[in-house]
Structure 1
Amino acid sequence: MGQRSALYIEARIHADLDDLWTRTQDPARHQRWDLRFTEIAHLPRAEGEPQRFRYATRLLPGLMIAGTGVCAGEKERPDGTRTSALRFSSPHPLSLLAEGSGYWRYIPDGDGVRFLTGYDYRPRWGAFGALADRLLLRPLMGWATAWSFDRLRLWLEWGISPERARLNWLMELFTRAVILAVTGAGLATESVLPAFGPLAVLMAFCWPLLLTVLFFAALLAPPLPCTPAARRCRRKAPSRSRAPRLLRTLETPR
């Protein structure tokens, strides 16, 4: 797909391979943890045909961007790994993603599974779309995929439901925003210091330092263990990484 940089995300998940497979291949469960989709549904198919599906993403209240795709999976491979591949397209004029393809790999690794994806797509809207994709959409898609993978990990490892994980994330964002706002404003030193009584003079010197520590703690502290975080996933593909042959058997849906 041209000279664009394909997206790659990898997470190591301490979970049973069958459980991971189910929560990623079942559309009802997939849409719960994957931030990129609001709805995913399999479409009817004939015996022996690849599975077709419909997906939709809510951009704004009342505005859904929909598309269709085709996917296939290899659940039993000689090396013990599993693979699934898909191609997708969206005719919606507001969808910057015109068409694309990707894959998932499930690689048993000790007491866990290396779960990874590689995918790419062709943006529409000509030169403007290419620029918008490079500056905005592609970084956002990479972050959303990695965040979703970690959300899935929390579900499998900790039993934290995707809905609860999202709430944890929103609560942590809100808490950090409040701390940043309060410390950034500097607090009204003259109205706070009298509360320290004899220590007011000492606090006059310590207060700016305390505010600075709180500010940077809220800004730079790592996410809580129960909060999904894209930074926990690998974002750079190994040099030997390549798409599975299964992907070449699928045609882009129109």
Structure 2
Amino acid sequence: MDRLWAHTQQPDKHEQWDVRFTGIRYMPQSKRGVQRFRYMTRIGFGVRIEGTGETRERTDIRTGERISTLRFGSDQRLSLIREGRGYWKYVPQDGYIVFSTQYDYVTRFGLAGRVFDKFLFRPLMGFATAWSFDALRLWLEKGSAPAATIGRALIHYGCVLLLALLWAYEGVVPKLLFPEGGELALLKQTGLFPDQEASMLAWLGIAELGISIATIAFHRSKRLFAAQAVLLVLLAAAAFVANPELLAAPFNPLTLSVPMIGLNWIASRTVDDLPRAIRCVRKPAGRTERKATRHGFDL
């Protein structure tokens, strides 16, 4: 409990794992035991959102349960959040700790702000909260520092995105939209599908589009990346068997397959110990609690 409390209540530790904040700084504590703080979040292009808040803690000596309540807000006109409040709750169980949060806020910009919050900002904040909680779990349980975890996640998702885009491009552009650009002639040279090359090329394009979707949907599967690497080798080999002169071309199947195999290898090597927002319970369990918290987050 003390270790978890320190990693969530000390600003220098909190800002390492919580992707919602770039910086958190404590200000002098009041005589009433209220801890004031200042937070900051960079949103890109040199722009940052700043705000202030205050928090108070309470410990139940009998049960060991701790709770940290907070109020926060921003006077910055660019900030969507005008003011909000919430809590962090720490409940010891048999051999583990239930760490939960609930918070809600009031938005700016009238109807436009409420619509933007409902359909984009609030879902992203809920996801970021849950993802950060799991990054904290990895830090405490496995010793994986947040900087390394976040860096590994960026590399992994970057490779997955590039693979998905490449598979989609190869499926749609040269096979479905412009088959006469060379793919159809290459397939005819194989002699595998006499008089059916056009339809087979279209099916190949659809299959590659399906691989693109599967790459995103099953990006945590090492078997998927291994299967893709094997498939890329087979496709390149088939192309060179059909037309050996491709090896002399400046842009040939080899120049595409080798980088894609490399991306598959990197993605498979970075899949372990990635934070997962889905590991956190995102919905209240009880009917009464669900009614009371339907406008907030409960993790």
Identity value in percent: 37
Contact 1:179 1:214 in 2 (8 A): no
Distance 1:77 1:182, change over 3 A: same
> What does residue range 68-147 of structure 1 map to in structure 2 within 5 Å?
68-147=52-131
Distance 1:208 1:124, change over 3 A: closer
CA–CA distance in 2 between the matches of 1:61 and 1:209? 38
Equivalence for 1:201: 192
Contact 1:56 1:67 in 2 (8 A): yes
CA–CA distance in 2 between the matches of 1:130 and 1:208? 41
Equivalence for 1:167: 151
Moved more, 149-158 or 87-96: 149-158
Partner of residue 134 from structure 2, selected from 147, 150, 157: 150
Contact 1:33 1:152 in 2 (8 A): yes
Richer in strand (by share): 1
Q: Which of the pair has the greater relative contact order for Cα pairs under 8 Å at 6+ separation? A: 1
Backbone CA RMSD of aligned residues: 2.8
Opposite residue 211 of structure 1, the aligned amino acid is: E
Equivalence for 1:235: 282
Opposite residue 214 of structure 1, the aligned amino acid is: I
Structure 2 unmatched ranges of 5 or more: 176-181, 221-270, 293-299
CA–CA distance in 2 between the matches of 1:181 and 1:25? 41
Equivalence for 1:35: 19
Specify the SS of the correspondent of 2:192: helix
Q: How does the TM-score come out when normalised to structure 1?
A: 0.77
CA–CA distance in 1 between the matches of 2:217 and 2:115? 30
Contact 1:68 1:88 in 2 (8 A): yes
Report how far residue 119 of structure 1 moved.
0.4
Matched, 1:49 2:33: yes
Specify the SS of the correspondent of 2:52: strand
Report how far residue 76 of structure 1 moved.
3.9
Specify the SS of the correspondent of 2:72: strand
Richer in helix (by share): 2
Aligned length: 224
Q: C-alpha deviations, 1:165-216, integer Å up to 9, x for none?
A: 111111111111122122112366867x98xx98x839x9796687356324
CA–CA distance in 1 between the matches of 2:27 and 2:285? 34
Matched, 1:214 2:205: no
Distance 1:136 1:208, change over 3 A: closer
Moved more, 55-64 or 115-124: 55-64
Higher gyration radius (CA): 2
Equivalence for 1:13: none
Distance 1:100 1:46, change over 3 A: closer
Structure 1 unmatched ranges of 5 or more: 1-16, 244-254
Matched, 1:184 2:168: yes
CA–CA distance in 2 between the matches of 1:137 and 1:105? 24
